[in-house]
Amino acid sequence: MKRLILPLLATVLSLSIYAQKTASTAPEGFQRPKLVVGIVIDQMRWDYLYRFNPLYKANGGFKRLLGEGFSCDNTLIPYTPTVTACGHTCVYTGSVPSVHGIAGNNWYDNQLMRTVYCSEDKTVNGVGGKTVEDGQMSPRNMLTTTICDELRLATNFKSKVIGVALKDRGSILPAGHSANAAYWYEGKSGNFITSTYYMNALPDWVNKFNDRKLVDSLYKLNWNISLSKDVYTQYATADEKSYESKPFGADAKSFPYDLSKFVEKDYSKISSTPYGNTLTVEMAKAAVLAENLGKGSATDFLAVSFSAPDYIGHSFGPNSWEMLDDYIRLDEELGRLFGFLDATVGKNQYTVFLTADHAVAHVPGFMKENKLPGGVLEGLTVKDMNSKLKTKFNLDNLIVAMMNDQIYLNHPKLDSAKQDEEPVKEWIIQYVKKNEAVTNAFATADIMTTPITKTLRDMLANGYNPRRSGDIQMILKPGYFEGSSTGTTHGAWYPYDAHIPLLFYGWGIKKGKTNRETYMTDIAATVAAILHIQMPSGTVGKVIEDVMK
């Protein structure tokens, strides 16, 4: 009997020892960084990484990312329209508008029968703001989870997730549905605010940050060029151009810009200066310290979006002194942020990815003066088309909206009048095709059968959401867009709008680069792989294995 009991006891003892070893060593196989920092630069062309590279500082952000991290140099947006809300959502969901539902910054909802703003939510109230509208925001219009949501789920909600940006959509959509907080900037008050979706009152640290009135201090610095004029003439066109917008007033046509006149008067102008980036970095740093990000037992996530480049880019364009100066200063701000994270979280203890929500087209006036193709869509308005449609079909207001290069029909009107919509669509298509700026137009229902290049077809299909997309798709010629004769914009499928930077750095990331084709949708899948967590619920992207050690 003893012969049977002794081997049995030995077996039980060995199994117990094995179980103890497994329990203690298993976490080592699933290590994670203390903090993930997602950085989205609102409006950054990929070529800025190299075009301005000689001007970036050795201790700045871009050279640190390029020199010590991994760059995916051929990263593309796989859908249209290439705009802010879609871009931020795609980066963090790994999905496309047809799935995640954010079909534009705005869209016309075919069931609600009205225009909807991407992050609007009338069921919540603003917190900390001057107006009700600026705070009535949440991620409820987004149909899928984000990588931040998945991290929260994977750690049983022990991970903290904070979103920070000047734009509400740049903060809310990345942080996801289950975020601890998202903060955005209200130009009317000069405060960072939030909504009751997250909390009923701002934390003390946010109130203290707002009470500093940092914007006034930054305004007093005014805005002049950072380097000598010779540098700007080498990298950009002339400082003063008639085709540039004037966000600081009709008389403010070139450097230096007097910002001190806005002190205690207009807090919105900070967004159109590089100091908007400074403000964002300071808020992000305050969040890290106050919320002890990277100090807990679970990985935390800081989602930061730099909105100022978009405001500056829209006004002045990618070949302007203002845009060049903004990126010189943004490089310094990123360097400061990384230095701060080294000191607070620990060098190589956090993982960073940096990308853009979209790029941008050159200003049409700039293109024209350099004999390059480009222009503005003119002579095509809802009012004009509705007038002609009434003459043709004897019905008022058959078009309810035109946005995101799409035209929306008034389906209730057509149904009540028992008017077949096909002749209406065909008339609009033929009319639109006559416009000088338009290269093609067709029904969105025919995306998969219209003879167009496969790349364009895939991008249009990925951007098509039946409830939130229009009935007719317009394709503008390269270099053309809906807009005014001053400034520029984005939204097209062409590489100047769809080729974006993508860099990884820090914990778990190896040094290197790839020129193989990667996509914005791959970012969330890759971060999920690094963290050993489930990818977001609508992910269509693939893991970029090259970036990981």
Catalytic residues: 84
What separation in angstroms does the CA of 363 have from each of 31, 104, 241?
A: 47, 22, 11
CB-based contacts of 355, cutoff 8 Å, min separation 6: 39, 40, 41, 75, 91, 500, 501, 502, 503, 520, 523
For the record, the structure tokens of 444 come out as 């969105």
| 438-443: strand order across its sheet | 399-403, 406-409, 472-476, 438-443
Q: Are 181 and 195 in contact (CB under 8 A)?
A: no
Residue whose C-alpha is closest to residue 313's, from 169, 433, 489: 489
CB contact at 8 A, 159 and 301: yes
**φ, ψ (nearest 5 deg) of residue 529:** -65, -40
Q: Provide the pairing of β-strand 300-306 with 161-165.
A: parallel
Closest CA to 52 of 306, 330, 281: 330
- 290 by Cβ neighbours in 10 Å (0-12 / 13-18 / 19+) ranks as middle
**Tokens, residue 23:** 């329990």
Note the maximum CA span of the chain: 104
Do the bridges between strand 300-306 and strand 35-41 make them parallel or antiparallel, or are there none, so unpaired?
parallel
Tokens representing residue 496 in the block? 């100047």
Return the exposure string of 232-267: e unless at least 16 CB atoms fall within 10 Å of the residue's CB, then b.
Answer: beebbbebebebbbebbeeeeeebebebeebeeebb
Which helix or strand (DSSP H or E) is residue 354 part of?
strand 350-356
Q: How far apart are CA 385 and CA 203, in angstroms?
A: 51
Which CA distances in Å does 252 have to 222, 227, 233, 240, 247? 12, 20, 19, 10, 8
Structure tokens at 424: 């209406």
Going by C-beta distance under 8 Å and a sequence separation of 6 or more, which residues neighbour residue 58? none
Give the span between the Cα atoms of 360 and 185, in whole angstroms.
23
Q: Which helix (H) or strand (E) holds 475?
A: strand 472-476
